[in-house]
Structure 1
Amino acid sequence: MLKGKVALVTGSTSGIGLGIAHAFAREGATVVLNGLGKPEEIEATRAQLAADTGASISFIGADLSRADAVAELIAKVETEHGRLDILVNNAGVQHVSPIEDFPPEKWDLIIALNLSAAFHAIRLAVPGMKARGWGRIINIASAHALVASPFKSAYVASKHGVLGLTKTVALELAEYGITANAICPGYVMTPLVQKQIPDTAKARGISEEAVIRDVLLASQATKRFVEVDELGALAVFLCSDGAKSLTGTALPVDGGWTAH
Protein backbone atom coordinates (compact mmCIF):
# COMPACT_ATOMS: atom_id res chain seq x y z
CA MET A 1 0.00 0.00 0.00
CA LEU A 2 2.89 2.37 0.70
CA LYS A 3 5.13 1.42 -2.20
CA GLY A 4 6.82 4.54 -3.57
CA LYS A 5 6.38 6.47 -0.33
CA VAL A 6 9.29 7.61 1.85
CA ALA A 7 8.72 7.56 5.60
CA LEU A 8 10.85 9.04 8.36
CA VAL A 9 10.21 7.70 11.85
CA THR A 10 12.11 9.48 14.60
CA GLY A 11 13.13 7.54 17.67
CA SER A 12 12.84 4.29 15.71
CA THR A 13 15.81 2.24 16.84
CA SER A 14 13.60 0.59 19.47
CA GLY A 15 10.13 0.53 20.98
CA ILE A 16 7.12 2.17 19.36
CA GLY A 17 9.12 3.83 16.60
CA LEU A 18 10.71 0.57 15.49
CA GLY A 19 7.31 -1.12 15.52
CA ILE A 20 5.88 1.58 13.25
CA ALA A 21 8.94 1.34 10.99
CA HIS A 22 8.32 -2.41 10.69
CA ALA A 23 4.67 -1.82 9.79
CA PHE A 24 5.56 0.73 7.08
CA ALA A 25 8.30 -1.48 5.65
CA ARG A 26 5.92 -4.44 5.40
CA GLU A 27 3.65 -2.20 3.30
CA GLY A 28 6.50 -1.42 0.90
CA ALA A 29 7.55 2.04 2.08
CA THR A 30 11.14 3.23 1.98
CA VAL A 31 11.87 3.81 5.67
CA VAL A 32 14.41 6.10 7.29
CA LEU A 33 15.26 5.14 10.85
CA ASN A 34 16.48 7.65 13.40
CA GLY A 35 17.38 7.26 17.04
CA LEU A 36 19.96 6.50 19.66
CA GLY A 37 22.08 3.45 20.28
CA LYS A 38 25.41 1.83 19.60
CA PRO A 39 26.31 2.05 15.89
CA GLU A 40 26.76 -1.70 15.54
CA GLU A 41 23.39 -2.38 17.17
CA ILE A 42 21.63 0.19 15.00
CA GLU A 43 23.16 -1.35 11.87
CA ALA A 44 22.05 -4.81 12.97
CA THR A 45 18.52 -3.49 13.49
CA ARG A 46 18.52 -1.77 10.09
CA ALA A 47 19.85 -4.84 8.29
CA GLN A 48 17.39 -7.16 10.01
CA LEU A 49 14.44 -4.95 9.13
CA ALA A 50 15.55 -4.80 5.49
CA ALA A 51 15.99 -8.59 5.40
CA ASP A 52 12.63 -9.26 7.06
CA THR A 53 10.61 -6.97 4.79
CA GLY A 54 12.59 -6.56 1.57
CA ALA A 55 12.14 -2.80 1.92
CA SER A 56 14.78 -0.11 1.53
CA ILE A 57 15.86 0.85 5.04
CA SER A 58 18.38 3.53 5.95
CA PHE A 59 19.47 5.28 9.13
CA ILE A 60 20.23 8.94 9.74
CA GLY A 61 21.34 10.01 13.19
CA ALA A 62 20.55 13.40 14.70
CA ASP A 63 20.35 15.10 18.07
CA LEU A 64 16.72 16.15 17.82
CA SER A 65 16.95 18.40 20.86
CA ARG A 66 18.73 20.88 18.54
CA ALA A 67 16.79 22.74 15.84
CA ASP A 68 19.75 22.76 13.45
CA ALA A 69 20.11 18.98 13.75
CA VAL A 70 16.42 18.50 12.92
CA ALA A 71 16.94 20.67 9.83
CA GLU A 72 19.92 18.59 8.78
CA LEU A 73 17.89 15.39 9.23
CA ILE A 74 14.99 16.53 7.04
CA ALA A 75 17.41 17.86 4.40
CA LYS A 76 19.33 14.56 4.30
CA VAL A 77 16.13 12.55 3.86
CA GLU A 78 15.01 14.71 0.96
CA THR A 79 18.48 14.74 -0.61
CA GLU A 80 19.02 11.00 -0.32
CA HIS A 81 15.50 9.91 -1.27
CA GLY A 82 14.15 12.86 -3.25
CA ARG A 83 11.04 13.22 -1.12
CA LEU A 84 9.50 12.83 2.31
CA ASP A 85 5.90 11.64 2.27
CA ILE A 86 5.29 10.35 5.79
CA LEU A 87 6.67 11.96 8.93
CA VAL A 88 6.27 10.21 12.26
CA ASN A 89 7.40 12.30 15.22
CA ASN A 90 8.00 9.65 17.84
CA ALA A 91 11.28 10.52 19.58
CA GLY A 92 10.80 11.33 23.22
CA VAL A 93 12.30 11.37 26.67
CA GLN A 94 10.84 11.22 30.18
CA HIS A 95 11.77 12.27 33.69
CA VAL A 96 9.77 11.59 36.84
CA SER A 97 10.09 13.96 39.78
CA PRO A 98 7.98 16.10 42.12
CA ILE A 99 7.57 19.60 40.69
CA GLU A 100 9.60 21.29 43.43
CA ASP A 101 12.55 18.98 42.71
CA PHE A 102 12.16 18.87 38.92
CA PRO A 103 15.54 19.78 37.37
CA PRO A 104 15.14 22.76 34.99
CA GLU A 105 17.59 21.17 32.56
CA LYS A 106 15.34 18.10 32.36
CA TRP A 107 12.35 20.34 31.63
CA ASP A 108 14.26 22.05 28.81
CA LEU A 109 15.36 18.72 27.31
CA ILE A 110 11.91 17.16 27.42
CA ILE A 111 10.24 20.18 25.81
CA ALA A 112 12.97 20.36 23.17
CA LEU A 113 12.84 16.71 22.20
CA ASN A 114 9.18 15.87 22.70
CA LEU A 115 7.62 19.07 21.36
CA SER A 116 10.02 21.46 19.63
CA ALA A 117 11.60 18.72 17.51
CA ALA A 118 8.16 17.83 16.14
CA PHE A 119 7.50 21.48 15.30
CA HIS A 120 10.81 21.85 13.45
CA ALA A 121 10.41 18.59 11.55
CA ILE A 122 6.88 19.45 10.46
CA ARG A 123 7.68 22.99 9.33
CA LEU A 124 10.53 21.69 7.19
CA ALA A 125 8.70 18.68 5.74
CA VAL A 126 5.53 20.54 4.79
CA PRO A 127 6.81 22.45 1.72
CA GLY A 128 7.67 19.23 -0.10
CA MET A 129 4.38 17.62 0.89
CA LYS A 130 2.47 20.66 -0.37
CA ALA A 131 4.36 20.55 -3.67
CA ARG A 132 3.40 16.90 -4.16
CA GLY A 133 -0.18 17.34 -2.92
CA TRP A 134 0.08 14.48 -0.43
CA GLY A 135 1.48 13.95 3.01
CA ARG A 136 0.92 12.20 6.29
CA ILE A 137 2.07 13.65 9.62
CA ILE A 138 1.69 11.33 12.59
CA ASN A 139 2.66 12.59 16.01
CA ILE A 140 3.07 10.00 18.73
CA ALA A 141 1.59 11.82 21.67
CA SER A 142 0.37 9.82 24.66
CA ALA A 143 -2.65 9.33 26.84
CA HIS A 144 -0.81 12.07 28.70
CA ALA A 145 -1.81 14.41 25.89
CA LEU A 146 -5.35 14.01 27.23
CA VAL A 147 -4.94 13.44 30.96
CA ALA A 148 -2.27 14.09 33.57
CA SER A 149 -0.35 12.02 36.09
CA PRO A 150 1.64 13.22 39.10
CA PHE A 151 5.40 13.79 38.91
CA LYS A 152 5.47 14.15 35.11
CA SER A 153 5.07 17.90 34.65
CA ALA A 154 7.36 18.29 31.65
CA TYR A 155 6.20 15.15 29.85
CA VAL A 156 2.50 15.94 30.29
CA ALA A 157 3.06 19.55 29.22
CA SER A 158 4.99 18.46 26.14
CA LYS A 159 2.38 15.90 25.07
CA HIS A 160 -0.49 18.35 25.55
CA GLY A 161 1.56 20.67 23.36
CA VAL A 162 2.01 17.99 20.71
CA LEU A 163 -1.74 17.55 20.50
CA GLY A 164 -2.31 21.28 20.13
CA LEU A 165 0.35 21.41 17.43
CA THR A 166 -1.30 18.49 15.65
CA LYS A 167 -4.70 20.18 15.55
CA THR A 168 -3.27 23.47 14.32
CA VAL A 169 -1.21 21.85 11.57
CA ALA A 170 -4.21 19.77 10.47
CA LEU A 171 -6.30 22.90 9.97
CA GLU A 172 -3.57 24.69 8.05
CA LEU A 173 -2.93 21.78 5.69
CA ALA A 174 -6.46 20.42 5.23
CA GLU A 175 -6.80 21.64 1.65
CA TYR A 176 -3.41 20.33 0.48
CA GLY A 177 -3.98 16.57 0.71
CA ILE A 178 -1.99 16.42 3.94
CA THR A 179 -3.34 15.02 7.19
CA ALA A 180 -1.98 15.41 10.71
CA ASN A 181 -3.05 13.15 13.55
CA ALA A 182 -1.86 12.24 17.02
CA ILE A 183 -1.75 8.67 18.27
CA CYS A 184 -2.14 8.64 22.04
CA PRO A 185 -0.93 5.33 23.45
CA GLY A 186 -1.40 4.15 26.97
CA TYR A 187 1.48 2.33 28.57
CA VAL A 188 3.59 0.23 26.22
CA MET A 189 6.47 -1.79 27.68
CA THR A 190 9.20 0.11 25.85
CA PRO A 191 12.69 1.05 27.06
CA LEU A 192 11.30 4.49 28.00
CA VAL A 193 8.64 2.95 30.24
CA GLN A 194 11.04 0.40 31.71
CA LYS A 195 13.41 3.21 32.66
CA GLN A 196 10.75 5.22 34.50
CA ILE A 197 9.56 2.32 36.67
CA PRO A 198 12.38 2.66 39.25
CA ASP A 199 12.11 6.47 39.13
CA THR A 200 8.38 6.29 39.81
CA ALA A 201 8.93 3.78 42.59
CA LYS A 202 11.38 6.18 44.22
CA ALA A 203 9.11 9.21 43.78
CA ARG A 204 6.10 7.43 45.27
CA GLY A 205 7.95 5.36 47.85
CA ILE A 206 6.58 2.03 46.59
CA SER A 207 7.97 -1.12 44.99
CA GLU A 208 8.54 -1.51 41.26
CA GLU A 209 5.92 -4.28 41.17
CA ALA A 210 3.45 -1.88 42.75
CA VAL A 211 4.30 0.73 40.11
CA ILE A 212 3.31 -1.68 37.33
CA ARG A 213 0.14 -2.85 39.08
CA ASP A 214 -1.07 0.27 40.85
CA VAL A 215 0.29 3.08 38.67
CA LEU A 216 1.00 2.05 35.08
CA LEU A 217 -1.89 -0.34 34.53
CA ALA A 218 -4.27 1.02 37.15
CA SER A 219 -6.26 3.09 34.65
CA GLN A 220 -6.01 0.75 31.68
CA ALA A 221 -9.24 -1.23 31.82
CA THR A 222 -7.69 -4.08 29.85
CA LYS A 223 -5.01 -4.50 32.57
CA ARG A 224 -2.37 -5.16 29.93
CA PHE A 225 0.26 -3.12 28.17
CA VAL A 226 -0.56 -1.81 24.68
CA GLU A 227 1.36 -3.75 22.04
CA VAL A 228 3.66 -2.07 19.55
CA ASP A 229 2.04 -3.90 16.63
CA GLU A 230 -1.29 -2.26 17.44
CA LEU A 231 0.26 1.17 17.02
CA GLY A 232 1.97 0.15 13.79
CA ALA A 233 -1.33 -1.02 12.34
CA LEU A 234 -2.99 2.29 13.21
CA ALA A 235 -0.12 4.28 11.68
CA VAL A 236 -0.48 2.32 8.44
CA PHE A 237 -4.22 2.98 8.39
CA LEU A 238 -3.63 6.71 8.84
CA CYS A 239 -1.53 6.63 5.66
CA SER A 240 -4.25 4.87 3.66
CA ASP A 241 -6.86 6.39 1.38
CA GLY A 242 -9.45 5.25 3.89
CA ALA A 243 -8.10 7.82 6.35
CA LYS A 244 -7.81 10.79 4.00
CA SER A 245 -10.62 12.63 5.84
CA LEU A 246 -9.21 11.77 9.25
CA THR A 247 -7.18 14.75 10.40
CA GLY A 248 -6.65 16.83 13.52
CA THR A 249 -7.58 13.96 15.77
CA ALA A 250 -6.30 12.45 19.00
CA LEU A 251 -6.56 8.68 18.72
CA PRO A 252 -6.29 6.97 22.12
CA VAL A 253 -4.89 3.45 22.07
CA ASP A 254 -4.89 3.15 25.82
CA GLY A 255 -6.84 0.12 26.97
CA GLY A 256 -9.71 2.33 28.10
CA TRP A 257 -7.59 4.68 30.23
CA THR A 258 -9.12 7.95 29.00
CA ALA A 259 -12.66 6.49 29.00
CA HIS A 260 -12.78 6.93 32.80
Structure 2
Amino acid sequence: MQQFTGKTVIVTGGGGGIGGATCRRFAQAGALVAVFDMNLDAARAVAASIVEAGGKATAFQCDITDRAQVDAAVAATEAQLGPIAVLVNNAGWDVFKPFTKTVPAEWAKLIAINLTGALHMHHAVLPGMAERKAGRIVNIASDAARVGSSGEAVYAACKGGLVAFSKTIAREHARHGITVNVVCPGPTDTALLAGVAEGAPNPEKLLEAFTRAIPLGRLGQADDLASAIVFLASEDASFITGQVLSVSGGLTMNG
Protein backbone atom coordinates (compact mmCIF):
# COMPACT_ATOMS: atom_id res chain seq x y z
CA MET A 1 0.00 0.00 0.00
CA GLN A 2 1.53 3.31 -1.12
CA GLN A 3 -0.03 5.40 1.65
CA PHE A 4 3.00 7.69 1.92
CA THR A 5 3.21 8.53 -1.79
CA GLY A 6 4.60 12.03 -2.26
CA LYS A 7 5.15 12.57 1.46
CA THR A 8 8.54 13.65 2.77
CA VAL A 9 9.85 11.66 5.72
CA ILE A 10 12.94 12.44 7.80
CA VAL A 11 14.60 9.61 9.72
CA THR A 12 17.50 10.57 11.98
CA GLY A 13 20.16 7.94 12.50
CA GLY A 14 18.95 6.67 9.16
CA GLY A 15 22.27 5.05 8.33
CA GLY A 16 22.01 2.55 11.20
CA GLY A 17 20.13 -0.69 11.74
CA ILE A 18 16.70 0.45 12.94
CA GLY A 19 17.01 3.71 11.02
CA GLY A 20 17.94 2.01 7.78
CA ALA A 21 15.11 -0.51 8.06
CA THR A 22 12.69 2.32 8.77
CA CYS A 23 13.89 4.32 5.77
CA ARG A 24 13.44 1.32 3.50
CA ARG A 25 9.96 0.59 4.85
CA PHE A 26 8.79 4.17 4.27
CA ALA A 27 10.26 4.11 0.76
CA GLN A 28 8.38 0.91 -0.01
CA ALA A 29 5.20 2.76 0.98
CA GLY A 30 5.95 5.54 -1.52
CA ALA A 31 7.61 8.14 0.70
CA LEU A 32 10.35 10.57 -0.28
CA VAL A 33 12.89 9.64 2.36
CA ALA A 34 15.47 11.99 3.85
CA VAL A 35 18.16 9.82 5.42
CA PHE A 36 19.77 11.91 8.19
CA ASP A 37 22.99 10.66 9.74
CA MET A 38 26.22 12.18 11.01
CA ASN A 39 27.97 9.43 9.02
CA LEU A 40 27.31 10.56 5.46
CA ASP A 41 28.69 7.35 3.94
CA ALA A 42 26.23 5.28 5.97
CA ALA A 43 23.35 7.58 4.97
CA ARG A 44 24.36 7.37 1.31
CA ALA A 45 24.49 3.58 1.46
CA VAL A 46 20.93 3.39 2.76
CA ALA A 47 19.70 5.95 0.23
CA ALA A 48 21.42 4.05 -2.59
CA SER A 49 19.80 0.77 -1.54
CA ILE A 50 16.40 2.47 -1.64
CA VAL A 51 16.98 3.98 -5.07
CA GLU A 52 18.24 0.64 -6.41
CA ALA A 53 14.99 -0.94 -5.23
CA GLY A 54 12.96 1.67 -7.10
CA GLY A 55 12.28 4.04 -4.22
CA LYS A 56 13.16 7.67 -3.62
CA ALA A 57 15.69 8.76 -0.99
CA THR A 58 18.34 11.40 -0.42
CA ALA A 59 21.16 11.33 2.12
CA PHE A 60 21.89 14.31 4.34
CA GLN A 61 24.79 14.66 6.75
CA CYS A 62 23.47 15.91 10.06
CA ASP A 63 24.85 15.89 13.58
CA ILE A 64 21.64 16.42 15.55
CA THR A 65 23.59 17.85 18.50
CA ASP A 66 24.55 20.82 16.29
CA ARG A 67 21.56 23.12 15.81
CA ALA A 68 23.08 24.87 12.80
CA GLN A 69 23.49 21.51 11.03
CA VAL A 70 19.92 20.54 11.91
CA ASP A 71 18.51 23.78 10.49
CA ALA A 72 20.60 23.43 7.33
CA ALA A 73 19.64 19.80 6.76
CA VAL A 74 15.93 20.46 7.34
CA ALA A 75 16.01 23.42 4.95
CA ALA A 76 17.82 21.33 2.32
CA THR A 77 15.30 18.53 2.72
CA GLU A 78 12.36 20.85 2.17
CA ALA A 79 14.06 22.46 -0.81
CA GLN A 80 14.80 19.13 -2.48
CA LEU A 81 11.92 16.90 -1.37
CA GLY A 82 9.15 19.18 -0.17
CA PRO A 83 7.38 19.93 3.14
CA ILE A 84 8.07 17.47 5.93
CA ALA A 85 5.11 15.21 6.67
CA VAL A 86 6.79 12.75 9.05
CA LEU A 87 9.70 13.04 11.47
CA VAL A 88 11.24 9.95 13.05
CA ASN A 89 13.73 10.76 15.81
CA ASN A 90 15.75 7.57 15.87
CA ALA A 91 19.37 8.65 16.35
CA GLY A 92 20.83 7.49 19.65
CA TRP A 93 23.94 6.46 21.53
CA ASP A 94 24.60 4.53 24.73
CA VAL A 95 27.39 3.55 27.11
CA PHE A 96 26.87 0.48 29.28
CA LYS A 97 28.36 0.81 32.76
CA PRO A 98 27.20 1.47 36.35
CA PHE A 99 26.37 5.11 36.97
CA THR A 100 29.16 5.62 39.50
CA LYS A 101 31.67 4.43 36.88
CA THR A 102 30.55 7.03 34.34
CA VAL A 103 32.02 10.52 34.03
CA PRO A 104 30.41 13.91 33.29
CA ALA A 105 31.77 13.97 29.75
CA GLU A 106 29.79 10.79 29.03
CA TRP A 107 26.66 12.31 30.57
CA ALA A 108 27.03 15.35 28.33
CA LYS A 109 27.34 13.21 25.20
CA LEU A 110 24.41 10.99 26.17
CA ILE A 111 22.18 13.98 26.84
CA ALA A 112 23.27 15.81 23.68
CA ILE A 113 22.49 12.87 21.40
CA ASN A 114 19.54 11.21 23.09
CA LEU A 115 17.61 14.24 24.32
CA THR A 116 18.89 17.60 23.10
CA GLY A 117 19.28 16.33 19.54
CA ALA A 118 15.62 15.31 19.44
CA LEU A 119 14.65 18.73 20.82
CA HIS A 120 16.59 20.38 17.98
CA MET A 121 14.73 18.29 15.41
CA HIS A 122 11.31 19.04 16.88
CA HIS A 123 12.07 22.75 17.12
CA ALA A 124 13.16 22.85 13.47
CA VAL A 125 10.26 20.82 12.05
CA LEU A 126 7.21 21.62 14.20
CA PRO A 127 6.57 25.21 13.01
CA GLY A 128 6.06 24.04 9.42
CA MET A 129 3.85 21.15 10.48
CA ALA A 130 1.77 23.49 12.66
CA GLU A 131 1.36 25.96 9.81
CA ARG A 132 0.19 23.17 7.50
CA LYS A 133 -1.96 21.69 10.31
CA ALA A 134 -0.67 18.20 9.61
CA GLY A 135 2.21 16.01 10.68
CA ARG A 136 3.36 12.81 12.31
CA ILE A 137 6.24 12.50 14.75
CA VAL A 138 7.51 9.17 16.06
CA ASN A 139 10.21 9.28 18.73
CA ILE A 140 12.36 6.26 19.49
CA ALA A 141 12.97 5.92 23.21
CA SER A 142 13.72 2.65 25.02
CA ASP A 143 12.18 0.23 27.47
CA ALA A 144 14.94 1.50 29.75
CA ALA A 145 12.80 4.64 30.03
CA ARG A 146 9.76 2.64 31.12
CA VAL A 147 11.23 0.16 33.59
CA GLY A 148 14.89 1.13 34.12
CA SER A 149 17.95 -0.79 33.02
CA SER A 150 21.05 -1.52 35.06
CA GLY A 151 24.11 0.02 33.45
CA GLU A 152 22.12 2.59 31.48
CA ALA A 153 21.18 5.21 34.08
CA VAL A 154 21.82 8.38 32.09
CA TYR A 155 20.58 6.84 28.84
CA ALA A 156 17.37 5.83 30.63
CA ALA A 157 17.04 9.34 32.05
CA CYS A 158 17.34 10.84 28.56
CA LYS A 159 14.81 8.45 27.08
CA GLY A 160 12.45 8.99 30.01
CA GLY A 161 12.72 12.71 29.34
CA LEU A 162 11.93 12.09 25.67
CA VAL A 163 8.78 10.18 26.65
CA ALA A 164 7.56 13.03 28.87
CA PHE A 165 8.48 15.60 26.22
CA SER A 166 6.60 13.65 23.54
CA LYS A 167 3.41 13.54 25.59
CA THR A 168 3.60 17.28 26.21
CA ILE A 169 4.21 18.10 22.54
CA ALA A 170 1.32 15.78 21.63
CA ARG A 171 -0.94 17.92 23.84
CA GLU A 172 0.41 21.25 22.61
CA HIS A 173 0.05 20.37 18.92
CA ALA A 174 -3.08 18.19 18.81
CA ARG A 175 -5.03 21.26 17.68
CA HIS A 176 -2.68 21.48 14.69
CA GLY A 177 -3.49 17.96 13.54
CA ILE A 178 -0.05 16.69 14.58
CA THR A 179 0.34 13.36 16.35
CA VAL A 180 3.36 12.51 18.48
CA ASN A 181 4.01 8.96 19.65
CA VAL A 182 6.88 6.95 21.11
CA VAL A 183 8.26 3.53 20.26
CA CYS A 184 10.32 1.82 22.97
CA PRO A 185 12.58 -0.96 21.67
CA GLY A 186 13.65 -3.78 23.91
CA PRO A 187 16.94 -5.59 23.17
CA THR A 188 17.35 -5.37 19.41
CA ASP A 189 19.96 -7.00 17.19
CA THR A 190 21.78 -3.85 16.06
CA ALA A 191 25.29 -2.44 16.11
CA LEU A 192 24.35 -0.45 19.22
CA LEU A 193 23.51 -3.62 21.13
CA ALA A 194 26.68 -5.28 19.86
CA GLY A 195 28.66 -2.31 21.15
CA VAL A 196 26.98 -2.62 24.54
CA ALA A 197 27.78 -6.34 24.66
CA GLU A 198 31.43 -5.71 23.80
CA GLY A 199 31.73 -3.67 26.98
CA ALA A 200 30.62 -6.62 29.11
CA PRO A 201 33.03 -9.20 30.59
CA ASN A 202 31.33 -11.96 28.57
CA PRO A 203 29.48 -10.55 25.53
CA GLU A 204 28.04 -13.88 24.37
CA LYS A 205 26.68 -14.65 27.81
CA LEU A 206 25.06 -11.22 28.02
CA LEU A 207 23.31 -11.64 24.65
CA GLU A 208 22.15 -15.13 25.67
CA ALA A 209 20.72 -13.68 28.88
CA PHE A 210 18.87 -10.99 26.94
CA THR A 211 17.39 -13.63 24.62
CA ARG A 212 16.32 -15.93 27.46
CA ALA A 213 14.56 -13.05 29.20
CA ILE A 214 12.34 -12.32 26.17
CA PRO A 215 9.11 -14.35 26.22
CA LEU A 216 9.00 -14.61 22.42
CA GLY A 217 12.44 -16.21 22.56
CA ARG A 218 14.51 -13.97 20.29
CA LEU A 219 16.12 -10.57 20.08
CA GLY A 220 14.21 -7.88 18.26
CA GLN A 221 15.11 -7.21 14.65
CA ALA A 222 15.29 -3.81 12.98
CA ASP A 223 12.25 -4.62 10.84
CA ASP A 224 10.19 -5.28 13.98
CA LEU A 225 10.74 -1.67 15.00
CA ALA A 226 10.24 -0.32 11.49
CA SER A 227 6.79 -1.91 11.32
CA ALA A 228 5.65 -0.15 14.50
CA ILE A 229 7.17 3.18 13.47
CA VAL A 230 5.54 3.21 10.04
CA PHE A 231 2.18 2.24 11.54
CA LEU A 232 2.25 5.16 14.00
CA ALA A 233 3.09 7.53 11.14
CA SER A 234 0.26 6.22 8.97
CA GLU A 235 -3.36 7.30 8.57
CA ASP A 236 -4.35 4.08 10.32
CA ALA A 237 -2.98 5.67 13.50
CA SER A 238 -4.57 9.09 12.99
CA PHE A 239 -6.46 8.90 16.32
CA ILE A 240 -3.42 7.78 18.32
CA THR A 241 -1.26 10.41 19.99
CA GLY A 242 0.78 10.78 23.15
CA GLN A 243 1.17 7.01 23.41
CA VAL A 244 4.15 4.80 24.24
CA LEU A 245 4.48 1.43 22.50
CA SER A 246 6.92 -1.20 23.73
CA VAL A 247 8.33 -3.42 20.97
CA SER A 248 10.22 -5.89 23.11
CA GLY A 249 8.90 -9.39 22.47
CA GLY A 250 7.07 -9.24 25.79
CA LEU A 251 10.15 -8.44 27.87
CA THR A 252 8.19 -5.67 29.59
CA MET A 253 4.44 -5.88 29.96
CA ASN A 254 3.49 -3.21 32.47
CA GLY A 255 0.97 -0.61 31.38
Q: TM-score range by the shorter chain?
A: over 0.9
Instruction: Provide the identity percentage.
Output: 34
Aligned partner of 1:138 in structure 2 is 138
Deviation at 1:129, TM superposition (A): 0.8
Aligned partner of 2:48 in structure 1 is 47
Q: Which amino acid aligns with 1:179?
A: T
Residue 107 of structure 1 contacts residue 154 of structure 1 at CA under 8 Å; is this kept in 2? yes
Q: Which amino acid aligns with 1:133?
A: K
Residue 65 of structure 2 contacts residue 120 of structure 2 at CA under 8 Å; is this kept in 1? no
The CA distance in 1 between the partners of 2:216 and 2:196, in whole Å, is: 21
The CA distance in 2 between the partners of 1:43 and 1:228, in whole Å, is: 19
The CA distance in 1 between the partners of 2:40 and 2:163, in whole Å, is: 31
Aligned partner of 2:204 in structure 1 is 209
Verify: 1:171 aligned to 2:181, yes or no: no
Deviation at 1:36, TM superposition (A): 4.0
Deviation at 1:117, TM superposition (A): 0.9
Match of 1:14 among 13, 16, 24: 16
SS in 2 for 1:146: helix
Q: Which segments of structure 1 move beyond 4 Å, counting only runs of 4 or more? A: none
The CA distance in 1 between the partners of 2:80 and 2:122, in whole Å, is: 18
Match of 2:225 among 227, 231, 234: 231
SS in 1 for 2:252: helix
Aligned partner of 1:27 in structure 2 is 29
Deviation at 1:217, TM superposition (A): 2.9
Deviation at 1:223, TM superposition (A): 2.3
Aligned partner of 1:66 in structure 2 is 66
The CA distance in 2 between the partners of 1:67 and 1:103, in whole Å, is: 24
The CA distance in 2 between the partners of 1:168 and 1:67, in whole Å, is: 22
Q: Which amino acid aligns with 1:209?
A: E
Deviation at 1:80, TM superposition (A): 2.3
Q: What do the CA deviations read for 1:11-60 (whole angstroms, capped 9, x no partner)?
A: 01120011110110000000010124463x543332121111x2221011
Q: Which amino acid aligns with 1:43?
A: R
Deviation at 1:67, TM superposition (A): 2.4
Structure 1, unmatched stretches of 5+, are none
CA 1:108/1:187 → structure 2, altered by over 3 Å: closer, same or farther?
same
CA 1:68/1:44 → structure 2, altered by over 3 Å: closer, same or farther?
closer
Deviation at 1:235, TM superposition (A): 1.8
Residue 219 of structure 1 contacts residue 256 of structure 1 at CA under 8 Å; is this kept in 2? no
Deviation at 1:6, TM superposition (A): 0.1
Verify: 1:88 aligned to 2:56, yes or no: no
The CA distance in 2 between the partners of 1:56 and 1:38, in whole Å, is: 17
* TM-score of the superposed pair, with normalisation by structure 1: 0.92
Q: Which amino acid aligns with 1:84?
A: I
Q: Which amino acid aligns with 2:241?
A: T
Q: Which amino acid aligns with 1:157?
A: A
Residue 114 of structure 1 contacts residue 159 of structure 1 at CA under 8 Å; is this kept in 2? yes
CA-based RMSD of the aligned residues comes to 1.5
Q: Which amino acid aligns with 2:126?
A: V
Aligned partner of 1:129 in structure 2 is 129
The CA distance in 1 between the partners of 2:231 and 2:216, in whole Å, is: 23
Q: What do the CA deviations read for 1:70-114 (whole angstroms, capped 9, x no partner)?
A: 222222222222311100000000111222220211111111111
Q: Which amino acid aligns with 2:33?
A: V
Aligned partner of 1:113 in structure 2 is 113
Structure 2, unmatched stretches of 5+, are none
Deviation at 1:248, TM superposition (A): 0.3
Residue 31 of structure 1 contacts residue 58 of structure 1 at CA under 8 Å; is this kept in 2? yes
Q: Which amino acid aligns with 1:241?
A: E
Q: Which amino acid aligns with 2:189?
A: M
Alignment of 1:180-199 (within 5 A): 180-199=180-199
The CA distance in 1 between the partners of 2:35 and 2:71, in whole Å, is: 16
